[in-house]
Amino acid sequence: VILPKAKNPDDGEKEIVVVEDGPSADRLIDWDPKHPITQAFQKDLGHPEIQRLIIGAKARTEGEPGRIGRWLDLFVNRVRPSAPMMTEILKKRGLPAEMIFITMIESSYFKTDGFPISTSQIKGRTRAEGARGPWQFMPATAKSRGMKIADSKTGQCDERDNLETSTNAAADYFKDLFAKFPIDPKLAIMAYNAGQGSVVKALKCQEHTNPKDCVGKPVTAAEYLQNLRSLQGNIDFWDLLDLNIVNKESREYVIKFVAAQYLGREPARNGFAYDGKTYPVAPVVCPRK
């Protein structure tokens, strides 16, 4: 597949050639090129923001693009023993196997030794509050998905730390998000990071006549409304980006995921070879009876 040229303001015109007729023997996951969500992400690969990360990740450059490449070097090796279980859970919900790369963007669970479950654990401490586990569920979201949260008084185990339990919860959550934002799967990815309310608010910007209500950069009301009318209601993630409605964290989160899922599903093909070492399967934490 030869992707269309897209102008990159920093590097001029670039063209990425993707030789990909389908899954190869070196695939990390059993991905389906015919899955509609996979096909939607495939169309994004020609966008200059995605090209920037793909090129930088392969070259292991300085800064954010190169960091994605270094993460992939670690992730594709450490996640490999657990990937079949995770992708099976995702597929049972009709989701693409590539969704496991959310755990690479979200946490250090498969990017370092020891399966850290929270940022504080890396520093030698653990806690119940805040995001936790490979999918980095916040307590309220975890509870709404049926998971038990750590209790310092009773000593109750925190099921966000259990890879199988949390992957089941994440799969259910993503199934709901993709159904809620059917126009563009990237909006579901954005919602996982920023919350559904943030995406709904961003999409509702088209209902405002005052650009100060939503837009993050100075534009005239006429320019704002002209842009929105030209979209004819089918606003996707890139449209929100063009209108400067997406914050920096969500912007980086989504484009990191789109680039990583492409590069990581065929790691050796994209320059991320297996290191030949044996890594453990993720530990069973809080086993359900």
pTM greater than 0.75: yes
pLDDT for res 234: 72
What is the residue type of 24? S
Whether the pLDDT of residue 73 is over 70: the answer is yes
Averaged pLDDT, 4-33 = 61
Ramachandran angles phi, psi of 65, nearest 5°: -55, -45
Q: Where are the domains of the chain?
A: 6-270
Cβ(81)–Cβ(163) below 8 Å = no
Angle at 25 between CA 23 and CA 31, to 5 degrees: 30
pLDDT for res 225: 57
Helix axes 185-194, 163-180, angle to 10 degrees: 120
Which three-class secondary structure string do you get for 169-204? HHHHHHHHHHHHCCCCHHHHHHHHHHCHHHHHHHHH
pLDDT for res 208: 53
Structure tokens that stand for 27 in this block: 């695939």
For 158, residues 6+ apart whose C-beta sits below 8 A from its C-beta are 117, 128, 132, 133, 148, 149, 150, 285, 286
pLDDT for res 4: 43
Whether the pLDDT of residue 124 is over 90: the answer is no
**CATH code, residues 6-270:** 1.10.530.10
Where does residue 248 rank: exposed (0-12), middle (13-18), buried (19+ CB within 10 A)? exposed
pLDDT band at 1 (very low <50, low <70, confident <90, very high): very low
- As a whole number of angstroms, the distance between CA 159 and CA 243 comes to 39
Burial 134-154 (b: 16+ CB within 10 A, else e): bbbbebebbeebebbbbeeee
pLDDT band at 224 (very low <50, low <70, confident <90, very high): low
Higher pLDDT: 163 or 128? It is 163
How far does CA 148 lie from the centroid of its chain? 24
The 3-state DSSP class for residue 151 equals strand
The tens digit of pLDDT for each residue in 134-164 reads 999 999 999 999 999 887 676 678 999 999 9
pLDDT for res 169: 97
Whether the pLDDT of residue 123 is over 80: the answer is no
Higher pLDDT: 258 or 210? It is 258
